[in-house]
Each structure stands twice: as C-alpha cells, then as structure tokens.
Amino acid sequence: MLKFMPEPFKIKAVEPLKILSKEEREKAIKRAGYNTFLLKSDEVYIDLLTDSGTNAMSDNQWAGLMIGDEAYAGSRNFYHLENTVKDIFGFKYVVPTHQGRGAENLLSTICIKEGDYIPGNMYFTTTRYHQENNGGNFVDVIIDEAHDSTRGDIKFKGNVDLAKFQKLINEVGPDKIPYICVAVTVNLAGGQPVSMENIKEVSKLAHENGIKVMFDATRCVENAYFIKENERGYEDHSIKEIVKELFSYGDGCTMSGKKDCITNIGGFLCLNDEELFEKAKELVVVYEGMPSYGGLAGRDMEAMARGLEEAIDYHYIKHRVHQVRYLGEKLENAGVPIVKPTGGHAVFLDAKAFLPHLSQGEFPAQALAAAIYVDSGVRTMERGIVSAGRDKHTGKNHYPKLELVRLTIPRRVYTYTHLDYVAESVIHIWKNKYSIKGLQWTYEPKMLRFFTGRFEEKE
Ligand SMILES: *Cc1c(COP(=O)(O)O)cnc(C)c1O
C-alpha cells in the first residue's frame, strides 16, 4: 500500500498555467508592495494563497449548475441545499449567505450585545471582526499548546482549555457570554482539529451555564477525518456519522461553503433556536437577500449541496489530508521549521524560526511569503503580526506567538508533483535564508490589514 492516498479522481478539464521569469516576478512583488494578496493571479504559477473558493468542482457539480432554478423566491435548489445540510449537519434551520462572513455577520448581530464576551478556540480574522463590531470582546480559550509550533505530539491541538473557559465564566458571569465559538478545525493554529471528547465537555460546561455553542463549521469534514484517524472509538464511524455527532453538541454554526463544500462561493448559518432563526431571516433580507437564496444564485446553492455530499466521501477527504501531510513531511525531512503536526488544509512555516535574523516587527512571515513568490512563482500567505492587527482599545500591535506563512492546498486542484516543486523552492530558500531582508509599512489599512497593506524592504 502507498503511504499517501493517490488522487481519487481523474482530470477532465484543465486550466493551463503561466510561468513568469524571475526578473518579472521581482518586478511584480515590488509593484504589489510585498503583499502576495496584491499580485495578479496571472503572475502566479502555483497558487497556495488560500483553499477558500479555489476548489475544483466535480462533473456532477458542474452539471448541477445547469439545473439552477433562478426564481427570486422558493428556488428548488434552496430546498435541496436545506435538506442536505439538515441531513448531514443535523441542525433544524438553515439560512444561506453569500459566504461564511455573511453568516458571521448575522450570528454576531442577533446574539451579541455591547460589552459581551465571546470565547473561542483562537480567533479568526472575519469572525473576530464581526464579534467586535457588535460590541463583543473576543477571549482566546484554546489550549496553550496550540500556540507552540513544536508540539507535534498533540493530536487535537485545536481543543478548548476548559479551565480557561471556566475562568471566563467566573470572571464576567454567564450572562455576559451569549455563546462560545468552537472552530472545527482551527485555521490560525494550523488547521488543527478538536476532539469529540473535548466538544462534549465544552458543550456540557456551556449548557450548564446557559451559554450556547456555535461552531465555525468551515472545515468540519477535515476535523471529522482527524477524529476518525486519531480518536478511539471512531475508527469504524463514517465521516458523515462523525460530522453529525459533532454538531449534535451545538446550537448552530456558521459555514463557509468555499472550503468544505468544495464550491467557489457560498455559505450558510444553521440554528436550532426558532426565535433566533426568525431574527436571522429578518436580517438576511437586509444584508444578503431572501432567506431562500441569501445572496447566492440558485445554481450556486445546487453546487454547494452536491459538494457537501462529495466532501463526506472517505476517499476524497483522506486524499485531501494526505496531500497536506505529504508536503509537510517533505519540508520537515529537510529541516524546515513547520507547525507540527500538519493540519487539515495547509502547511504552516514557522517564520520566526525560519528567519532568526529578523525581529517580529520586521514582518518575517510577510517577507518570507514574498521571497517564496520571487523564487518560484508559488503564492503563499502571511498569518502573523500583519494579520493579527492592532488592539481595538489601545491601538497597539498584537504580537501573536505564531508568526506563520501558510501554504494552503486547494481541494482537488494540484497533484503531488506540484507539491514536490513547492517543497523544492521552500527548501532552497531555507538554505539561503540570510539573504531575506525585513520589511516596513508604506501603507497600513485600519482593518483586516493583510488584505491591502503595502510594504518595502528595509535597508
Ligand atoms: C474562510 C473562513 C471564514 C470566513 O468565510 P468566508 O467564506 O471567507 O467569508 C470563517 N472562519 C474560518 C475558520 C475560515 O477559514
């Protein structure tokens, strides 16, 4: 048996790739202000910026687009999506949104009051933005080890630290905590999963205190795969059974369809509480559209319903996680510092250890992402001090412990050979790391600054 699962699909349509020369790439990154988000996609050879909306849809999903019912209200594709989500996730009510942050906006607006606290297992950029924008304060309750990139021995590094959660309840009182946000998997910790056991305990503690459990379900299928692989008692459960059990401990979720629904756009909010659902339906009309399309075309809802069915296929998800692991092992074997263990959607380079000659204030992860692009045309993303932003009260920079470059693998898009090329480039830079210079701002946006911020090399 091969160690890594080969592709459980074959290629039916291809998109040719362009490769620029190194001189052209040097020019491009300067023009982009050393921000890989500001590169044109035509300037990129292998795009590992994100796994969000970059998925390759199946022939079945593409066929589904043709039966899009573009009625303003009551589209049949909505009912298909609603039934599929209810069947797989088990929640009572489903509100479609244009993508995950649309659902976050609805949830935060209907649940959070000024001065509330929202515990979560590490922040996510848009999630925290919507919580704070509604007067909430995010409190990180993930286990300490999640912030330690060397702890490859821990299988469920996304777990909630129950003592931290309990401490917050004691300090501010349960009335100030409308819900705990549990991300499965935890993107910013490196795509790390949460165990079923932890979810059960979190749910028990939350519900005893009248606090709701809301999942960030974005990568729930990847999380389910890790539970099947590593948690005792789940070896023989199907991915679908695990997903359903996981959500049975919660009261709702936000979902970005652009990840584990294997589509290019879409999202939804799930709720069990009828009153909250009524509020969400009133609000979705203002921000997204009718509750039966939520900012999506009928065909997009069809693709999302079909994608979700495909995502819970064991062979699909095994291959996905194995691709990530394959790239991680190649880098690790060459001594490159990566976050361990590798998670579900990406390999994260530890930029502080990679570039020991730069201080965090010189934006090592930003500089490393730019250097990888110049070396090979591979686009990656900063997940460190630039992404962490400034404290909303003091205006001071957050200095996150993890200063990372994310190499995100899109679903069903690249082959193992592409990943060999990526590994070769990163290893080449690792061997020549001292030539990489720090960066300084030339333009710092006020919010979500990693999207549009600009830099230049320090002398
Ligand atoms: C992508 C993502 C979101 C937001 O979803 P969008 O579809 O990009 O709006 C929320 N949480 C996590 C963990 C994500 O990865």
403 lines ligand 1 (CB under 6 A): no
For Cα atoms 253, 259, 264, give the angle at the middle one, nearest 5 degrees. Answer: 120
101 lines ligand 1 (CB under 6 A): yes
Whether pLDDT at 273 is above 90:
yes
User: How many CB atoms are closer than 10 A to CB 64?
Assistant: 24
84 lines ligand 1 (CB under 6 A): no
Q: How many CA atoms lie less than 13 Å away from 424 in the CB half-sphere?
A: 9
**pLDDT for position 250:** 98
Averaged pLDDT of the chain:
96
Length of the chain (residues): 459
**pLDDT for position 459:** 82
Comparing CA positions, the residue from 339, 336, 249, 290 lying closest to residue 97 is 290
- Of residues 8 and 446, more confidence is placed in 8
Q: Looking up tokens 């890989």, which residue turns up?
A: 36
**pLDDT for position 140:** 97
Residue nearest to atom 3 of ligand 1 (CA): 100
Q: Work out the pLDDT band at 392, boundaries 50, 70, 90.
A: confident
345 lines ligand 1 (CB under 6 A): no
299 lines ligand 1 (CB under 6 A): no
Comparing CA positions, the residue from 319, 131, 285, 150 lying closest to residue 214 is 131
- Residues involved in catalysis: 72, 124-125, 216, 259, 383, 450
How many angstroms is it from 276 CA to the middle of ligand 1?
21
How many angstroms is it from 193 CA to the middle of ligand 1?
16
Q: Work out the pLDDT band at 388, boundaries 50, 70, 90.
A: confident
**pLDDT for position 229:** 97
Q: Which of 126, 129, 381 to mutate to test the pocket of ligand 1 (most atoms within 8 A of CB)?
A: 126
Whether pLDDT at 447 is above 90:
no
User: How many CB atoms are closer than 10 A to CB 420?
Assistant: 13
Q: Under a CB-based contact definition with an 8 Å cutoff, are residues 399 and 385 in contact?
A: yes
**pLDDT for position 74:** 95
Q: Work out the pLDDT band at 294, boundaries 50, 70, 90.
A: very high
Q: Work out the pLDDT band at 2, boundaries 50, 70, 90.
A: confident
For residue 119, what is the enclosing H or E element? strand 117-120
Helix residue spans in 262-363 (DSSP H): 274-287, 298-311, 314-333, 351-354
Rounded mean pLDDT of 375-404?
91
**pLDDT for position 453:** 95
Structure tokens at 366: 């930003």
**pLDDT for position 89:** 98
Q: Which residues pair with 119 in a beta bridge?
A: 139
223 lines ligand 1 (CB under 6 A): no
Rounded mean pLDDT of 355-383?
97
Which atom of ligand 1 is least distant from the CA of 183? 13
How many angstroms is it from 104 CA to the middle of ligand 1?
9
Comparing CA positions, the residue from 280, 251, 267, 273 lying closest to residue 109 is 280
Residue 85 CA to residue 79 CA, distance in Å, equals: 10
Rounded mean pLDDT of 358-387?
96
Whether pLDDT at 1 is above 80:
no
How far is CA 128 from each of CA 28, 49, 100, 313, rounded to the nearest angstrom? Answer: 32, 21, 13, 31
Which atom of ligand 1 is least distant from the CA of 258? 7
Which atom of ligand 1 is least distant from the CA of 259? 1
Whether pLDDT at 156 is above 80:
yes
How many angstroms is it from 256 CA to the middle of ligand 1?
5
Structure tokens at 39: 């590169």
Q: How far does the chain reach from its first CA to its final CA, in angstroms?
A: 52
**pLDDT for position 402:** 86
124 lines ligand 1 (CB under 6 A): yes
Residue pLDDT, tens place only, 47-77: 999 999 999 999 999 999 999 999 999 999 9
How many angstroms is it from 100 CA to the middle of ligand 1?
5
Question: Quick one: how far is CA 243 from the chain centroid?
Answer: 17
**pLDDT for position 264:** 98
50 lines ligand 1 (CB under 6 A): no
Q: Which of 52, 105, 192 to mutate to test the pocket of ligand 1 (most atoms within 8 A of CB)?
A: 52
Rounded mean pLDDT of 258-262?
98
Q: What is the DSSP letter of 397?
A: B
Rounded mean pLDDT of 109-132?
95
Rounded mean pLDDT of 415-420?
98
Q: Under a CB-based contact definition with an 8 Å cutoff, are residues 251 and 182 in contact?
A: no
**What is the DSSP annotation of 30-69?**
HHTTT-GGGS-GGG-SEE-S-SSS-PPPPHHHHHHHTT--
Q: Which of 259, 261, 268 to mutate to test the pocket of ligand 1 (most atoms within 8 A of CB)?
A: 259
Q: Work out the pLDDT band at 430, boundaries 50, 70, 90.
A: very high
Amino acid at 36: T
Beta-carbon contacts of residue 203 (< 8 Å; ≥ 6 apart): 213, 249, 250
How many angstroms is it from 101 CA to the middle of ligand 1?
6
Q: Does the pTM of the predicted model rise above 0.85?
A: yes
Residue pLDDT, tens place only, 203-241: 999 999 999 999 999 999 999 999 999 999 999 999 999
**pLDDT for position 241:** 98
Whether pLDDT at 11 is above 90:
yes
How many angstroms is it from 218 CA to the middle of ligand 1?
6
**CA-CA-CA-CA torsion sign (348, 353, 359, 364):** negative
52 lines ligand 1 (CB under 6 A): yes
- Of residues 55 and 123, more confidence is placed in 55
